[in-house]
Every structure is written in structure tokens, then in C-alpha cells.
Structure 1
Amino acid sequence: MTNPYRGRPDYTFWRQAVAEQAAAGVDPVTAVPFTLSPGDAIATAGSCFAQHLSRTLKSAGFSWLETERFTGAAGTADEGYGIFPARFGNLYTARALRQLFDRAYGQYRPKARAWRTATGAWLDPFRPRIQQGGFPSLEALEEDRRRHLAAVRRMFEGCAVFIFTLGLTEGWISAEDGAAVPLAPGVVGAQEPEGAWRFHNAGFAETLEQMEGFLAGLRLVNPKVRVMLTVSPVPLIATYEDRHVLVSTIASKSILRAVAEELTRRDPGIAYFPSYEIVTGPQTGGRFYAEDLREVTPEGVEFVMSIFRRHYLSGAPVAAAAPAAPPATPAPLAGVSAEEAARYRVLTGILCDEDAIVTPGGRD
């Protein structure tokens, strides 16, 4: 019997595909099940890293779907709009995504209506940071929620492509009915009874089940939708497990990557974009991470997005099509003042709920 690996393409061999290409920048995408056209209505959701995809789509002139805009309704502030297709905030877990869908269609009615802060403001537990000052009344919050869920339905039914970035397995849920929220209530100053919310870390089976349930529902309301999955390369900012945050990060990302693999193997029509591998793989030598070893540098983001443009955006400008080579040496935010770093975060428009965990008052 001859060697079955003989004659296989170069991209299937580590030396040719990774070791010899590391200096120029490794592009691990070999085939795609579909491409995106400028006229496609594209919705993005997931962890903070998903916001880079939405910015790339908008800057390339593609139809990033936006179904919820600021109207000046009573009790609302012009905050959190234009970052997500609808003002749902970051959806870190598969449970949060599925529950958003089920809440939008009346299939799930969580018992938690609102959180109250010490200042008297009302927060939506499922998107507590979309409006920093909260809502002035419970009525204003619930009216905004009705408008919001209608916008979520328009998004799910109107998108030609839905891109979801899997971010975390760790989260907080209601002890009463399992409702998933992006942050523990104490992180945002909500005055909730002790034990009303508990930590929950989903495993592979649960995460897969939640994603399967979501995809089944999505295809009922939008049979022609195309789906793309990706995994965020951003590590956990903190873990609530009694173990090292590095171990929890690898465990979480491994589960999410395995779920994405299982779903794409079952359905070849679901696309997987390897942003996680592009940033975290050994070929980068860690140079795509900033000094904190967590934040992805602008160069790292641009390299990931250049590969996305090259393979997935048909009709994109020629100048944006070729992947940019990564920097030969690290180009993190080292040496940059806190003021300049803060300005960069504002300009890039990345909203991360996790940051509240370690800001003053969020960590003892």
C-alpha cells in the first residue's frame, strides 16, 4: 500500500502550510461554502470580537443589517445603537443567544423583569450596559424592551447571513428559571437578593444543544438564511471557577471550538471562519496580543479581517482583498499612554461587558 498522504495539497502539511509561511502570515482558509455579496443583509452577534466583523462589513460597503435605531423615545438614551443589529449587547454564551431568540418569539418568558440599582435606576438584566444610566422607570424599560424584541425579530427574519462569534462558556443565570445574563448583577450595582443568581459554566453537550435549538428556530423563521460561526480569540478577563484563569480560558475556548466543529461537520453549509486560529496559533508567536496578553492589537485585527475580506467578501474593493502580512515584531499598546489607549477604544467602538468585572468597584 502506498503512503496515502503522498500528493496531498501543501496546506495539509504543517511544514509547508505553517512553518514556512509564518514570516509572511499564515492564511488557514482553504475553501468556503459561500461568499457574501454587497447586497446581502448580514447580521452579526456574539462576543466583543464580533464587533470587528460588523465594522469590516460596513467599511467595505456591505449591507450590515441594522433593525433598531435611536428614535428619542421617552426614557431612552442614544447609547448602544449602531454597534449591534438590534440593541441586544454582547451575547457571550450559546444559552444567551438561544434565549434571545425564544424571548423575541414569546417562547420563553423569564421571570426576571428588571434590576434596580442603589441610585434608583432600572436595568434590563439581559442587556444591563446598553444604556449606562439605566432607565428612569420600569415602564420605560419594558416599553423599550418591546420595541427591542420586535427589532430582534426583524433581524432574524430579514438577514440573508447570520454570523455568530462564540465567546464564553462561563456566565450567570437565574437560580429560579435559568435565565442567562451577561454579567452578575453585583458587577453593575444591581440590588438583587443573595442567591438569586448563580454562576454557570456550560459544557460541550449543553453548548451544542443550545446552538442546535437556536439554529432550528432560526431556520423556521428564515429558511434561506446562511450561517457562519467563529470563535473569539480574546481570553477570559476573569474566571469564577476555583482555578487559574489560563486553564479556564483554554477549557472554554476548546469547548466552543469543538461545538463549532461538530455543527459544521454535520452541516457543510454552515461556514466556519478561523479567527481564533489566526490569532492564537503558534505561527504568530503571540505578536497579535497587546501588552496585557488579552487585547488583540489593531494589526492582529486587521490581519484577521483581511483574510475574511479575501475569502468571504465577493465584490469587495481590490485594495482590501489581499491579506496583510503580520508585523515582524510585536506592535502592542506598550508605551502608549492610558489616555491614548482609551481614545483608541472609543474610536474602534468595541463595547465589552466583561471590562466591568475588573473596573473600580467591580473587583475587591
Structure 2
Amino acid sequence: MIRGPVPLYKSSAVDAIKLRKANEYSFWGSRNAANRVEPIASPHFDFKLDLEPGDKIFTVGSCFARNVEGRLATAGYRLPMRDLMDDRSFAGVHPRALNNFSTPSIWNELGWATGESQFDADQAIVEYASGKWLDLHVTHNVQPAPRDTVLRRRSAITKAYGSFRDCKLIIVTLGLVEVWYDNVAGTYLNSLPPPPLIRRYPERFELHVLSHDETLDYCDRAIGLLRKYGRSDAVILMSVSPVALGITHRPEDVMVANCYSKSVLRTVTEEMVARHDNVHYFPSYESVLQSDRQVAWMNDFTHVSETLIAHNVDRLVRHFDAGGVGDESLESVHASIEAGGASAAHLHAIEARKADPNSAARFFSEFGEWSQKSPTFATEHIEWLVEQKQAAKALDVASLTDARSERIKMAKARALLMLKRNREALDILYDPKLEDARSSRYWSLRVEAEGNNGDIAALETTLSGWSRALPKHASQARIHVARALLAQSSVGRALELLELALVDNPKLALGHILSAEAYLLRGDLAAARQSFALAEPATPSESRRYNKLKDRIGELVGT
């Protein structure tokens, strides 16, 4: 018997199209405009959580979780797992001793903390050397110690894991699927046993590479314990650690082994989100993976740079903080940029552009000197000035940088058009490299400049180039050129283009509005009213044009 499809998520075709159109993050964007991809990727995320400094956050997972803890602690949140380091038995022990790399070991610790299973000290705590003992479920970078010390540490760890019960937010970071199995105890370990123990007990330990189903099963059980014993209003935030598998024990390239590991973990987190309404996903993994490698990774190609850690944790904390982007003090921004240099300055510039205009203005006034040092900062600065209609200032800043990126060229062209310096704008826009950029924004700027110059022949050439470069945007090209032609009173050709555009897409509101304007220019009020009746404006600019046209038609009908 063939089983029918069992999708993770489904919707009707009609709803899927609606969702895609409503989702502003459903496509990648373009290198020629401000985007969320380069050089630092910032994938969108959205979940509801009312959290304030002082609230408790429980963290469990790999070394990336420890990095997150450090940042959250400085932001004023309470982290019970971090408090474990204050226990006297952990004196001199690094916080990475708490790293938990796999779903089986996370489930182990939560099971022991909740009493769902029992920790077997006789099997889990072994003698490493005379009088020196190890807990096999703690990372082996913790030095061996007397057995009573190891037992006290174990008791403290189990108690700390139980602290999730009264935490408002639980962050679970999954690390890898290449794990170690203890044949004697019948349990998975948290990390590779020390080599001396492997030599002493060669049959005791095995390498297991978990399948998707095994990983999912352990994760589901762990999440089940968090939901069963945690607060009823707790939010579970899952992520996949971007920190790469440092070394593989399989006969293949570590890059291949790492890809399998992260792919399995990413699918498991997606399934957890689909199954539980209080489980959400934070895309720190995608942020690091999609960012410029020179910025994202440390020199070992394994660990994530401080810049990317700060970027992602800051995004997360801002999501908690209703105060928003603009509330960060200039002192803290100064400290961040001093530590992170050009990359940090660029990240703060991106965030400043999202803030209210006054906050952004303060930021760029304070840190504008970075436009001379960092091309990426200059790009954000110049584009923001253009958005604020400060065209002359934008050109001044552009003159301070040697950068000639496509985005800076486009911003300069927009500024020049605002200042009615059309010929200078066209000198930039006729750059063959920009023509190859496959950007509708580029072509629309070119149409605007040529229309301002009244160059109808150039508009026809641009229409051909736009339609050839971006065939799927042909209707958009015709609409833009038709609008420019109407400004030159070239009504006949404008109506031809509008008719073609509306054949392709009868619901183009701007097409119907422009058609009505064209018919009014021709003196055909009846045709204008007919076109106007078909217009359903969907954007603020369309609504303004629609209302203005409505008044004109009303006046004509009244006469």
C-alpha cells in the first residue's frame, strides 16, 4: 500500500500564492540595493516574547550557546547555567565544560534533572589515574579530580539543568550528530572519551553517526521534558550552532561530514517548530553560513567571529527589548565599533537605518567619519541620506570614498536626479556594468533621467534593454516608460505600452490610473472614467495618484 504524502507544512495553492506575495522576505533581494544578505546576512525571524533584563534564560547546547550566554549576561539577563561556575567545585573550570553537543546528551541531562532517568555514577564516573576521576558526560577538557569533587560537580550540573523549570525563555542550540556511545552504560556520551580511556577500554566506546530519525527522536524527547516540567508560558527557542565540526572520525572530508551533521540538525529543528506552538527557530546558523567568510569565521575556519556572534545576539536581544534599535547608547556603540572595527561599524550602520530618523541622524553624525574608512559603511550612509532627501549631503559623503560599488553609483544617480542634474546622472547610469546588473531599480532610474531630459528615442532604447535584461519585468518596464512619455505628452505611444502591460497583468492599478490620465490628455473623459473604474490602488503612492485623478475627473464631470 502506497502511503499518501505527509508534509511538514501545507496550504492551498491560492493561500500559498497570497503568502508569498505578502511576505517581503520571500526573495533574496539584490546586490544593487540595500539588502539583508551581504556582507553580513540577517535572515528575518519573528516570534512573540515579552522579556526584560533580569528575567531568567536557560541555555543548553554547544560552544555557540556559551557565546550567547556571555552576551546575554552583559545585557542584564539572568542565566542559571552560567551561575554554575560560581560553585566552588568548579573553581578554575572554563564555562565550555557545560557544552552539550548532541540531542542524546541533551536528553540525558534533562532526564537526570527531572528524575525521568537516573544518573549511574558507578558507570559514568571512571578513574582516569590514581585518585583522579572523570565524569564521562562532561567535556574531557575538564581536568580529572578526586571522586568526591567530580560527584559534587555532577550534583551541581544536574541541579543547574533543573533550573529551566522557572525560566521564561529556553534556548536550545544543537551542535553535531557525530557522537560517542558507551557500550557498558548503554548511553551516549557528550564528547570523545579521553584517548587513555579508549586505550584502556578498547571495546567500551564506539563512534555513532546519528540518522535523522535518531536525532529527531532524542530531540523530541528532550523538548517533551522541557514542555512537561517547564513554565506553561515558556518559549523554547531553537538554533543550530554554526560552529563547524572541528575534526571528523569518518573516512571523508570534514566539510562533507559537517554538512551532513548541520543538515540533519536543521531539519530536526524545523520539525520541532512544526510540532509545537511554543517552539521557535532563530536563524543564527543561516546568518553565519550566508555571510562573507572573511567576516564570519575565525582563522581556524571552525569558530564564529566575535563580530557575527555580537550581530546575532544583539538582534535577538533587540527583539526582546521593546525599546528597539534606536535605544542603544552611543557609548555602547562606540565600544562595540572600537572592538569590532569596520565590520562592527557597518553592522551598526545597517541597524541605524532601521531606526527612527532622529536616532539614525545622531548615529551618522557621530560615526560619519567611517565613510572615509569603510566602503560598506559609506554605502549605508549615502543611501540613508538619499532616503532622507539630503541629496547634496549624500554627494558630499560619496566624494569622501574611493569606493565605486554599484550601490554607491545608484545612490549617487538618485541624488543627482533629486538635484535636477540629469546629464550627470545619466553619465553614471550609462555604465555598462550597471546595465548588466539585472536590477529594475537601475532601469527605472534611467527612465526617470531620460524622461526628465525629454529624450523619447532614449526611452525606447531603455525599454528594449529593460525588457531584454528582465523579461519577467516587461510590464513594469512599459508602465515606467509610459509614465515618462505622458510627461512629454506622447499620449499615443504611452497608451500602446499601457495596453500591452495590462494585457499581461490586468490588475496593475498604476496601469489603469495612467491610462485614465492619458485619456484625459486626449480629451476622452468617457474612456478615462472607464479606466479609472478598474484601478484598485495597493500602495500609498498609487493611492495619492488615484485620489488626485479622482478629483480631476470629478471636476470635469461636474462641469
TM-score band by shorter chain is 0.7 to 0.9
> In structure 1, what residue type is equivalent to 2:221?
G
Deviation at 1:216, TM superposition (A): 1.4
- Name which of structure 1's ranges 143-152 and 318-327 shifts more when overlaid on structure 2: 318-327
Aligned to 2:118: 108
Is 1:68 aligned with 2:84? yes
Of 58, 61, 70, which residue of structure 2 is paired with 1:43? Answer: 58
8 Å contact from structure 1 (residues 94, 211) kept in 2: yes
Offset from partner CA, 1:294-336 (integer Å, 9 cap, x none): 222222222222322232344575247995369879xxxxxxx
8 Å contact from structure 2 (residues 58, 167) kept in 1: yes
What secondary structure is seen at the aligned counterpart in 2 of 1:56?
helix
Of 299, 309, 313, which residue of structure 2 is paired with 1:301? Answer: 309
Of 123, 135, 138, which residue of structure 1 is paired with 2:134? Answer: 123
8 Å contact from structure 1 (residues 37, 62) kept in 2: yes
Deviation at 1:212, TM superposition (A): 1.1
Is 1:183 aligned with 2:191? yes
**Cα distance change, pair 188–54 in 1 and its aligned pair in 2 (3 A):** farther
Offset from partner CA, 1:116-157 (integer Å, 9 cap, x none): 22464111111144742x222x2332243234323332x122
> In structure 2, what residue type is equivalent to 1:28?
P
Aligned to 1:152: 161
Is 1:11 aligned with 2:20? no
Deviation at 1:70, TM superposition (A): 3.7
- Name which of structure 1's ranges 268-277 and 317-326 shifts more when overlaid on structure 2: 317-326
Q: Which has the larger radius of gyration?
A: 2
Which runs of no fewer than 5 residues in structure 1 stay unpaired? 330-364
Q: Distance in 2 between matches of 1:310 and 1:328?
A: 26
Aligned to 2:556: none
Of 67, 86, 101, which residue of structure 2 is paired with 1:92? Answer: 101
> In structure 2, what residue type is equivalent to 1:318?
E
What secondary structure is seen at the aligned counterpart in 1 of 2:22?
coil
Offset from partner CA, 1:99-120 (integer Å, 9 cap, x none): 0111223313446231222464
Of 208, 218, 221, which residue of structure 2 is paired with 1:200? Answer: 208
Q: How much is the aligned-residue C-alpha RMSD, in angstroms?
A: 3.2
Deviation at 1:189, TM superposition (A): 5.7
What secondary structure is seen at the aligned counterpart in 2 of 1:117?
strand
Deviation at 1:222, TM superposition (A): 1.6
Report the TM-score when normalising by structure 1.
Answer: 0.76
What secondary structure is seen at the aligned counterpart in 1 of 2:194?
helix
8 Å contact from structure 1 (residues 104, 149) kept in 2: yes
> In structure 1, what residue type is equivalent to 2:217?
E
Offset from partner CA, 1:214-239 (integer Å, 9 cap, x none): 12122222242221001111111111
Deviation at 1:263, TM superposition (A): 0.8
What secondary structure is seen at the aligned counterpart in 2 of 1:164?
strand
Structure having the higher helix fraction is 2
Deviation at 1:271, TM superposition (A): 1.8
> In structure 1, what residue type is equivalent to 2:235?
R
Q: Distance in 2 between matches of 1:38 and 1:89?
A: 23
Aligned to 2:42: 27
**Cα distance change, pair 324–112 in 1 and its aligned pair in 2 (3 A):** farther
Which runs of no fewer than 5 residues in structure 2 stay unpaired? 1-12, 334-345, 351-373, 377-559
Q: Larger RCO: Structure 1 or Structure 2 (Cα < 8 Å, ≥ 6 residues apart)?
A: 1
Offset from partner CA, 1:332-363 (integer Å, 9 cap, x none): xxxxxxxxxxxxxxxxxxxxxxxxxxxxxxxx
Aligned to 1:324: 348
Q: Distance in 1 between matches of 2:168 and 2:280?
A: 14
Q: Distance in 1 between matches of 2:213 and 2:349?
A: 38
Is 1:289 aligned with 2:297? yes
Report the TM-score when normalising by structure 2.
Answer: 0.51
Q: Distance in 2 between matches of 1:188 and 1:256?
A: 31
What's the % identity of the aligned pairs?
25
8 Å contact from structure 1 (residues 157, 222) kept in 2: yes
Aligned to 1:353: none
Q: Distance in 1 between matches of 2:138 and 2:177?
A: 18
8 Å contact from structure 1 (residues 231, 276) kept in 2: yes
Aligned to 1:215: 223
**Equivalent residue runs for 1:343-358 within 5 Å:** none
**Cα distance change, pair 188–18 in 1 and its aligned pair in 2 (3 A):** farther
Deviation at 1:197, TM superposition (A): 1.0
Aligned to 1:55: 70
